[in-house]
Amino acid sequence: MRPTRTGLAVGIASAALVVAGRVLGLAELYAIGAAVGLLALVCGLWVALRRLDIVVTRSVRPSRVHVGNPCTVAIQVRNRAGRATPVLRLLDPVTGTAGADLLLAPIGLRRTTDVAYRLPTTKRGIVTVGPMQVAMSDPFGLASTRNPAAPTVEVTVLPRVDDIPPLPRS
């Protein structure tokens, strides 16, 4: 579990409000600062204590593709828990790009959801996909956690093949 940027800002603001309330003798500032600090603490505990029981499988079709041809990464997320998941974020690094960043709606208890994205095949070579991580945050976005979800896979992008007509017979 780690605080997000928003969580850090809320924590600093909470501490500043508590200090200002004490220094200025304003109970209202002190109370607001304490309440905001308590919210940040509860959000951190919510993320730390919430355990995901999901299985993530990733398949890349095809694993060898020619430049310019489509290549699809299909992801299946299965919730094995007895309750729905929170909103999940799948982070899948892809070499040469910003990677895939997918948001998943809550998955019902013992349900499965499928998502997919296309890999860029504009350059030949080896494209490394992964390792995938699943990120979860609290409803206020003050704390988050990341867990490994799927290992690294490689896709080979081969040179384009052009059909060459046969030479005319003489």
For the chain, domain boundaries: 2-49, 54-151
Percent of the chain with pLDDT over 90: 81
Contact 18, 37 (CB under 8 A): yes
Q: Looking at domain 54-151, which of 2.60.40.10, 3.30.420.40, 3.40.640.10, 3.40.50.150 is its CATH number?
A: 2.60.40.10
| Rounded Cα–Cα distance for residues 129 and 119 (Å) | 9
Q: What is the DSSP string of 138-166?
A: -TTSSEEEEEEEE--EEEEEEPP----PP
Nearest-CA neighbor of 18 among 40, 2, 1? Answer: 40
Contact 134, 107 (CB under 8 A): no
Task: Tell me the sheet residues that pair with 134.
Answer: 90, 147
- Identify the residue whose tokens are 């992964």: 130
Q: Is the pTM of this model over 0.85?
A: no
- Give the C-alpha distances (Å, rounded to integers) separating 71 from 9, 27, 96, 129, 170: 41, 61, 15, 12, 42
Question: Per residue in 155-170, pLDDT tens?
Answer: 999 998 888 888 888 7
Give me the numbers of helices (H) and strands (E) for the chain, helices first please.
Answer: 2, 11
Question: Per residue in 37-85, pLDDT tens?
Answer: 999 999 999 999 988 999 999 999 999 999 999 999 999 999 999 899 9
| Rounded Cα–Cα distance for residues 39 and 129 (Å) | 37
